[in-house]
Every structure is written in structure tokens, then in C-alpha cells.
């Protein structure tokens, strides 16, 4: 049991697990934001487009509730389904934009790093070739004779 707990501590302390946990928490918060956007902004606009004050007007009742028989209404929730699809598309679009921005930032950083390396190489004086070194050594040896 002790060995199991030590392995578990190592697993939890790894950076990837912590990054994933932060991502899940931020994803949940972002999901709440997009749900609010769809529910409070986009769905009412769709309701206006379909000339209905209630976004649930896109839902269709297949069978009305019958209190005498004790049955509930059966509703085809197209409005709810459309809202869920829009919610997904908003999240997907936002994730695409974030990933695209991250890739662009990474590309810019790589270009800047490559430019710095090239500038450092350009400032560095050229090293003598092997032939030049051997010629200089031979001249020094001739001077000593």
C-alpha cells in the first residue's frame, strides 16, 4: 500500500497531470461562458428570426400531457438540440482560434530565435581553414630555424 501511495504521489506531481487539471477547470469555466452566450444571446436571436418570443418554440410537442391518464408530454426538442450544436460550434471555433494563435506565436518565436542565431554567426569572425593554420605553423617553424 505504501508503494502504491508513493507511485500515486509521483503521478500526481508530474507536470502533465497538473496541466491537464488546469485545462479541465478552465474548460469547465469556458463551457459555462459559451452556454451563457448560446442561451442568452444566440438562442434569443434565433427565436426572433423564427418570430417567436420563446426559444423553446423550436421544440415540437409530439404528444400532449394527459393528466387524466397520468402521462407526460413527449417533446421533440429541436430548439434545445440546435442550441447544443451552436454551443459546440462556438467552443470549437474558440479552441481553433486559440490553437491558431498559439501556433502563430510559436512560429514567430522560432523565427526570432533563428534570426538571433544567424546574427550571432554573422558577428563571429570566420575561423581560419586547416590550410591557413598549417601555413602559419610552417612559417613560424621557418622563422625559428
Helices (H), 14-129: 15-37, 43-49, 78-123
Domain range for 6 is 2-144
pTM over 0.95: no
Nearest to 47, CA basis, from 63, 37, 35, 59: 59
- CA-to-CA separations, 100 to 86, 92, 107, in angstroms, rounded: 21, 12, 10
Residues in the chain: 145
CATH of the domain at 51: 1.10.1200.120
Asked if residues 50 and 57 have their Cβ atoms less than 8 Å apart, the reply is yes
Tens place of pLDDT per residue across the chain (145 aa)? 778 888 887 777 776 777 787 888 888 888 888 878 877 887 778 777 777 656 566 778 888 888 888 888 888 888 778 777 877 888 788 778 888 998 999 999 999 999 888 887 777 777 888 888 889 888 888 888 6
The answer to whether 73 and 64 have CB atoms below 8 angstroms apart is yes
What pLDDT, on a 0 to 100 scale, did the predictor assign at position 53?
A: 58
pLDDT score of 109: 92
Select from 31, 37, 35, 83 the least CA-distant residue to 57: 83
Say how many domains are in the chain: 1
Amino acid at each position: 500500500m505504501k508503494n502504491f501511495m508513493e507511485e500515486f504521489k509521483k503521478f500526481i506531481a508530474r507536470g502533465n497531470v497538473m496541466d491537464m487539471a488546469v485545462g479541465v477547470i478552465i474548460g469547465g469555466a469556458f463551457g459555462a461562458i459559451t452556454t451563457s452566450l448560446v442561451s442568452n444571446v444566440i438562442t434569443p436571436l434565433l427565436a426572433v428570426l423564427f418570430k417567436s418570443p420563446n426559444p423553446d418554440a423550436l421544440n415540437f410537442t409530439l404528444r400532449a400531457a394527459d393528466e387524466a391518464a397520468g402521462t407526460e408530454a413527449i417533446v421533440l426538442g429541436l430548439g434545445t438540440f440546435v442550441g447544443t450544436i451552436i454551443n459546440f460550434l462556438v467552443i470549437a471555433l474558440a479552441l481553433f482560434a486559440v490553437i491558431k494563435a498559439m501556433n502563430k506565436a510559436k512560429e514567430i518565436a522560432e523565427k526570432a530565435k533563428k534570426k538571433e542565431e544567424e546574427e550571432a554567426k554573422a558577428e563571429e569572425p570566420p575561423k581560419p581553414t586547416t590550410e591557413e593554420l598549417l601555413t602559419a605553423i610552417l612559417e613560424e617553424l621557418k622563422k625559428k630555424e
